[in-house]
């Protein structure tokens, strides 16, 4: 049974991804602050090494890594707070980068032709008021993933991004109905994207069925324009 490391596994999209991967026969290693598997706060960048060496490595070879954990910091740019910005980047960018480092080392050690999937956001491509900081963190991940693919593709390790459109999750729960409807009007289907539609794309990129796909950003967004 192949081990898939999944961050942000306890709710919303992460929980949906976890359930689908389990149904497909994978052994999912979940990591989040409220995970039923491994509890970890990704604001702690310096603890990533110990997390891998003392816990993850003992679970066996890692065949796939889904980086889904994220922290939203929403505000207009003129109100930007450096402490909140750094905290978000710790969770959304720096910890995933460090964890990718150890996942790659694990794949190299075990000669695993693995797959890495980062979950981004449509906000990195289509502007939304108040999401500049959050969008910038997701844009960083997209650039990191593309270069990861270029660097390690020659030995069979793939890295891709799934870029979801607007979904009704806890991260969007503060929006009013008016704001939601305005966002829906920006996609071609003019309706809310389902979480299961995104999780299916993640599952596909983790699987061997997508063996020819790497360095890509796959938009699952109901045709957001």
Q: What is the mean pLDDT of the chain?
A: 92
> What are the pLDDT digits (tens) for 138-151?
999 999 999 999 99
Catalytic residues: 134
Q: What's the pLDDT score for residue 166? A: 81
Q: What's the pLDDT score for residue 118? A: 98
Give percent of the chain with pLDDT exceeding 90: 79
Q: What's the pLDDT score for residue 128? A: 80
> What are the pLDDT digits (tens) for 37-94?
999 999 999 999 999 999 999 999 999 999 999 999 989 999 999 999 999 999 999 9
Q: What's the pLDDT score for residue 106? A: 98
Q: What's the pLDDT score for residue 192? A: 76
For the full predicted model, state whether its pTM sits above 0.75: yes
Confidence of residue 221 (pLDDT cuts 50, 70, 90): confident
Q: What's the pLDDT score for residue 69? A: 97
Sketch the domain layout of the chain as residue ranges. 3-220
> What are the pLDDT digits (tens) for 41-53?
999 999 999 999 9
Q: What's the pLDDT score for residue 187? A: 65
Q: What's the pLDDT score for residue 91? A: 98
Q: What's the pLDDT score for residue 170? A: 54
Mean pLDDT score, 3-26: 97
Confidence of residue 154 (pLDDT cuts 50, 70, 90): very high
Identify the CATH assignment for 3-220 out of 1.20.1540.10, 3.40.50.720, 3.40.50.150, 2.160.10.10: 3.40.50.720
Residues 6+ apart with CB under 8 A from 164: 13, 119, 120, 121, 122, 193, 198, 220, 221
> What are the pLDDT digits (tens) for 165-202?
887 665 555 566 666 666 666 766 666 788 999 999 99
């Amino acid at each position: 049974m192949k081990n898939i490391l999944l961050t942000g596994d306890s709710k919303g999209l992460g929980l949906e991804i976890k359930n689908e991967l389990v149904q497909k026969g994978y052994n999912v290693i979940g990591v989040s602050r409220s995970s039923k598997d491994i509890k970890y706060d990704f604001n702690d960048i310096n603890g990533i090494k110990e997390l891998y060496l003392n816990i993850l490595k003992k679970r066996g070879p890692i065949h796939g890594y889904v980086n889904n954990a994220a922290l939203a910091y929403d505000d207009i740019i003129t109100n930007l707070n450096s402490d909140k910005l750094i905290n978000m980047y710790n969770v959304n960018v720096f910890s995933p980068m460090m964890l990718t480092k150890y996942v790659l080392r694990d794949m190299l050690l075990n000669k695993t032709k693995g797959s890495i999937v980062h979950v981004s956001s449509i906000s990195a491509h289509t502007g939304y008021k108040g999401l500049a900081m959050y969008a910038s963190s997701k844009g960083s991940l997209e650039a990191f993933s593309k270069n990861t693919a270029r660097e390690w593709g020659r030995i069979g390790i793939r890295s891709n991004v799934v870029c979801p459109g607007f979904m009704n999750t806890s991260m969007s729960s503060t929006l009013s109905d008016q704001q939601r409807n305005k966002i829906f009007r920006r996609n071609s289907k003019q309706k809310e994207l389902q979480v299961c539609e995104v999780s299916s794309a993640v599952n596909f990129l983790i699987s061997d069925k997508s063996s020819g796909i790497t360095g890509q950003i796959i938009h699952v967004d109901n045709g957001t324009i």
